[in-house]
Amino acid sequence: MAIYDFKTEEDINNKSRTIVKTTEVPATTKEEEFTLESKENQLASLKEQQTSVATQIKDLEKEIADVKTALAVK
């Protein structure tokens, strides 16, 4: 289970604050630093990529179907 803490105690916008994620791994621990803003940006980017990929897939499927029809390929 991961534990999340703010790296500092400064009173600023919580989305811009650095967060430390501590994860227990066998015989040691692992820390990762990030901001909530960066995670939200990463999510938005992935959602945008997902939409783009879905559109590309649909276009490619249509093109393949058109080629198969034009060339009478099953």
- What is the phi/psi pair of residue 24, to 5°? -80, 130
**In the block, residue with structure tokens 């994620």:** 21
The structure tokens listed for 13 are 């916008």
Give me the pLDDT at residue 45, please: 97
pLDDT tens track for 60-69? 999 999 988 8
Give me the pLDDT at residue 39, please: 95
Helix (H, G, I), strand (E, B) or coil at 33: strand
Q: Provide CB contacts within 8 A for 31, sequence distance 6+.
A: 20, 21, 22, 23
- pTM over 0.75? The answer is no
Give the torsion through C-alpha atoms of 40, 43, 48, 54, to 10 deg: -160
pLDDT tens track for 11-57? 777 788 888 999 888 888 889 999 999 999 999 999 999 999 999 99
